[in-house]
Structures are given as structure tokens and as C-alpha cells.
Amino acid sequence: MRLGVLDIGSNTGHLLVVDAHGGAAPLPAYSYKEPLRLAEHLDGDGAVSASGIDALVAFAATAVEVAEDKGCEEMLAFATSAVRDASNSDDVLEQVRRSTEVPIEVLSGEDEARLTFLAVRRWFGWSAGRLAVFDIGGGSLEIAGGGDESPDVAWSLPLGAARLARDWFGGAMPDEQGIRKLRRQIRAEIARDAGNLLRSGAPDRAAATSKTFRSLGRICGAAPSSEGSLVPRTLAAGDLAAWIPRLMEMSHAELKELPGVSPSRTHQIVPGALVAEAVLDIFDLTELEICPWALREGVILERFDQLSFLTRGD
């Protein structure tokens, strides 16, 4: 079955076309994405701006055409933190639906963490034992952990790299006092519920996923994407700690030249690094393994699990 997965994230709109069936790994067939940056298109009332809505509608309409051209039998569309938290969320979704006839499901933070966990569990398998998963998105940080395919604990925090860049950086690097205040807030937010994961003991394996962690891993020496998804990649706490002061001294032009950094996300690297460092420190981890599968794959896997169950029921 050829499936289109439309992911409306806080940074990017991404259509992933995959060939998949129950019991097999989803095989990417085509990818179309645009840097919507919805987390940064919020007005003073927390509403997605008119320009942000227009960009989203235009992207969704094009994505539908692409999915049709590529022969998709079904479209799964979902939105995460930026739309979820917007004060005009219902209006945004209705405008997209009217223009494209595509209903977009808004995932809760817990569901986002749960589905990402499912993807990482399937990637690493049962040999990973008790698994902890961390995902820094544009609008939020997702944390989940457990020994099964469904996590025992899963939650979301408003600590996305784009959100922090918008709220704390304002186009310029904060001074030393500002960085210290931000660092303190990030750590307090994460530590508040850290016991949810820690009370069951240290995980057997700790993994990180999505663009921010991949970029930080690449900066710290992980293999480039050109070497394929099966190459092991890690983000070590010591390497990240050594890089953060250097990142703070760099201009956007210099950050853009770093391996793995998209030009549209240079302003998010430092806040994302501060969140990643806090995760490693608070959960007492020496490193995180970078998983190539994330939320989109989790959505696909759950959908095919559902189809397999219906088929067995027939």
C-alpha cells in the first residue's frame, strides 16, 4: 500500500510518501517539505498569523497534489505543538480542510511522545530492554519510557527549539545572565516530572530522535546521512558540553556552515543544545543513540497495526 503522511510540525510541513505493509519497515518513496516555521508565526494572543495560515494552506494543497501524483491510496495528516497550542487552532484546521478537503488530526503531547516511542522501539527492537526516548521538536520536548511497545510514561514539555528561540533569543544571543536564566528554566521544567522516568531505574538504552538531535549529533561528529540510516550514531554528553560555548560565540553565517545544520534553523541550534544538555544531565546519561525513525514512522506503524488487526478480524 502506498501511503501519504502529512506532518504539520512546528518548524516544517512534510509530506512523506511510503510503501508499506504490515510486518515490514515503511519504505520511503518520496518526500516533499517546506519550512513553515509555524512556531514563530504566532501573534501576541498566541494565534497563528494570517501569513502563517496562508503558508500552511498553500503547502497542504500542494502536498495533496503531490500525494495524488505519486499514487497514494490514503493520506494520514496530523499536526503537533504549533497548531495544538495556537489559540485559533480550530480556525486554522477548518481553513485547511475547506481548501484541501484534508482533515488534520491534532496530536496531544502525550500521543506525540507515545507514537515516537513506538517508532524507536520498532527500530531498536526488544533487545533494547527498558527504553527511554527523547524528541526535541520545534514547539515541544517529548519524553517517554518503558519496556513494552507502549511506554509506561509519556509526556510533553513546551521546550521546543523554535519556541525557545522565539521567546528568548529575538534574533540575537542573550547575554550571560539571560542564558543562565533560560538554562535554569529548562532544567526546572524537565526535572519537575523526571521522576516519572527515573523511579523505574536507569534505562537499558536511551535514544533521541528528530532534526535537532540529529543536527547536534552531526556537529559532534556523528556520521553524515549519506552513509545511510543503519550506521550507528550517538550524541555524547561530553562532546555536547564542549561544543555549547563555541556555538554561543558563532554568528548565524558560521552556524550555517556546520555539518548537519539547515540554514533555516541556525537560530535554533543553541536553545536546542541547551535542552539536549539538560536531558543528558538530569537523566544522568553519558550519551544518546540517534534513531532515524520518529513520529511519522510511529503514525505509519500504528496505522498498519490497525489494518492488520482489522484484516485478522475479518
Give the pLDDT of residue 7. 96
The answer to whether residues 218 and 238 belong to one domain is yes
Which helix (H) or strand (E) element contains residue 182? helix 176-192
- Picking from 22, 105, 72, 116, the residue whose alpha carbon sits closest to that of residue 310 is 22
Cell of 131: 527504553
Residue ranges making up the domain that contains 285: 109-295
The answer to whether residues 38 and 78 belong to one domain is yes
- The CATH number assigned to the domain holding 83 equals 3.30.420.40
The answer to whether residues 119 and 264 belong to one domain is yes
- The CATH number assigned to the domain holding 224 equals 3.30.420.150
Residue 309 placed within a domain: no
Distance of alpha carbon 5 from alpha carbon 274, whole angstroms: 30
CA distances from 194 to 85, 153, 155, 223, 237 (A): 23, 10, 10, 30, 18
The pLDDT tens digits for 213-244 are 999 999 999 999 999 999 999 999 999 999 99
* Residue finishing a domain among 106, 133, 155: 106
The answer to whether residues 147 and 230 belong to one domain is yes
Distance of alpha carbon 225 from alpha carbon 260, whole angstroms: 9
Cβ neighbours for 314, distance < 8 A, ≥ 6 positions apart: none
What distance, in Å, lies between the first and last C-alpha atoms of the chain?
Answer: 19
Cβ neighbours for 194, distance < 8 A, ≥ 6 positions apart: 282, 283
The answer to whether residues 198 and 237 belong to one domain is yes
Cβ atoms 115, 296 nearer than 8 A: no
The answer to whether residues 98 and 125 belong to one domain is no
Residue 308 placed within a domain: no
The answer to whether residues 78 and 210 belong to one domain is no
Residue 306 placed within a domain: no
Strands of the sheet containing 153-157, edge to edge, are 153-157, 141-146, 131-136, 205-209, 287-291, 234-236
The answer to whether residues 291 and 144 belong to one domain is yes
- Picking from 167, 141, 158, the residue whose alpha carbon sits closest to that of residue 40 is 167
Distance of alpha carbon 36 from alpha carbon 265, whole angstroms: 12
Cell of 1: 500500500
The answer to whether residues 145 and 6 belong to one domain is no
Residue 304 placed within a domain: no
Give the pLDDT of residue 21. 78
The answer to whether residues 169 and 67 belong to one domain is no
Single-letter code of the amino acid located at 187? R
The answer to whether residues 93 and 116 belong to one domain is no
Distance of alpha carbon 93 from alpha carbon 164, whole angstroms: 24
The answer to whether residues 167 and 97 belong to one domain is no
At which residue does the C-alpha cell 527515573 appear?
A: 198
Residue 152 placed within a domain: yes
CA distances from 62 to 2, 56, 198 (A): 18, 10, 44
Cβ atoms 167, 85 nearer than 8 A: no
Number of domains in the chain: 2
Residue 183 placed within a domain: yes
Cβ atoms 80, 103 nearer than 8 A: no
Give the pLDDT of residue 314. 53
Give the pLDDT of residue 2. 94
Rounded (to 5) percent helix, strand, coil in the chain: 50, 20, 30
Residue 216 placed within a domain: yes
Give the pLDDT of residue 308. 67
Give the pLDDT of residue 312. 60
Residue ranges of the chain with per-residue pLDDT less than 50:
none
Give the pLDDT of residue 170. 84
